[in-house]
Amino acid sequence: MKLLDPFSVVLMAALMCAVMSAVLFGARRGFPAEVRGLTYWGAALAVQVFSAFCFALRGTLPDVLVLPVANVLFVFGNGLCVIGLRRFYGLAPRWPMLGGACGFALVGMLYYLVVEPDYAARVAWMSVPITLISGAQLVLVLRHGRRKLATLFFGSLIAVNTVLVTVRGVVALTHGAALVDVTRPGLFQGFYLAVTALQPALLAVGFLMVAYERLRLILERRSASDPLTGVLNRRGFGDAYAREVARMARMRQHARTLALLSVDLDHFKMINDRFGHAEGDRVLVSVAQMVGSALRESDVLARFGGEEFIVLLPDTDGKRAIGVAQRVQRLLREAHAGELPSCTASIGVAVQTDPEEPLDALLSRADEALYRAKENGRNRIETWQAAA
């Protein structure tokens, strides 16, 4: 029983690849520069279209002309997917390996077409580079992909493709052409044709899902970050504070505390007036980097606008918070020797022991301490004390 017409399947695959190639090239314009690889995937599908048309020319042109070209293009298209995936994960492309895979495919196709014609041997030979390429994609996704639904879907598609190509190659070696020749009727042949027709488009959809997940994370990060210094903004700080307070509430029995530093650069307006706003911006960026270098990985740094920075110190009491504040002041004194205008900072310290206290109240207490530091001569550290 003939399940599928190979010619129709090839044309359907070419059409889907062409559509998804156009989608990927079009979608590329809507992604920021941090999301890479879409162009390679669009090009990969375009190459697959040409490969499919070459396969469709069997019977019209001699096999020795169309099959080597079709198979090398097929390998090259799959290899471009690996290149695109490597770029997506911030890795350098490996063009020599792709060139080697294409050369391997060409040599095998010519040998088993001209020197020793053998359909099963051609299938087994071609399964080697395709399996390695598909396996390389799977390794990249497993090693670098985020544990999200989009990545799971994408990785599953790659795994299915890897297994299917491997099984077909093994079957070709063990059972000959009877079970792998797609021009012959059979359940395995029909299943392979159907999957082969759908797989490129499905893989492109999977990659798009992963790309959109990356885009969502980028947009979330941008919405929570200060564009000048790269540290958190008010919104991002509020989210980080909420997470820390929730952790504090869960561990209430351990009497955890957290501290907050309100850091304000002294006479920053004079820096802007004297050196210009561009130089002032450079100072702010430098200060953010220096303050960040004084903190632990668990600490949170945010810019609340202008020259005001806020530091959240989990599991920190007042004494240790003052030590951090002193370290920040020392870094500021030592850092700006000649390269940037020098500046100092006044710092207010407040400690929170009750997870029910709202953030606004904690900020208000830190601001009171900061105001007292400004009143007492600037370049000082003051701790909030309850009114007697």
Give the pLDDT confidence of 175-195 residue by residue, as tens digits: 887 777 766 666 666 677 777
Provide the pLDDT for residue 1: 44
Q: What is the pLDDT of residues 9-53, one digit of tens each?
A: 778 888 889 999 999 999 988 898 889 999 999 999 999 999 988
DSSP three-state, residue 268: helix
Catalytic residue set: 307
pLDDT, mean of residues 95-110: 96
Q: What is the CATH number of the domain that holds 288?
A: 3.30.70.270
Q: Which residues contact 230 (CB under 8 A, 6 or more apart)?
A: 285, 288
With respect to residue 228, please indicate whether it lies within any of the assigned structural domains.
no
Residue spans of alpha helices (H) in the chain: 6-28, 38-56, 63-88, 95-110, 119-144, 149-175, 187-223, 234-250, 268-275, 277-293, 318-335, 359-375
Cβ count near 220 (within 10 Å): 12
Among residues of the chain, what percentage have pLDDT more than 70? 93
Q: What is the mean predicted confidence (pLDDT) over 140-156?
A: 92
CA-to-CA distance for 147 and 162, rounded, in angstroms? 20
Confidence band of 384 (pLDDT split at 50, 70, 90) = confident
Q: Which range of residues forms the domain containing residue 304?
A: 234-383
Question: 223, 248, 280 — which closes off a domain?
Answer: 223
pLDDT reported for residue 176: 80
Place of tokens 């370049």: 379
What is the distance between the alpha carbons of residues 37 and 33, in angstroms, rounded to a whole number? Answer: 10
* Same domain membership, residue 122 and residue 91: yes
Q: Judge whether 1 lies within some domain.
A: no
Question: Taking residues 195-211, what's their average pLDDT?
Answer: 88
Last residue of a domain, one of 197, 223, 249: 223
Whole-number Å distance between alpha carbons of 299 and 35: 28
In this structure, of 147-161, 188-202, 212-226, 352-366, the range with the lowest mean pLDDT score is 188-202
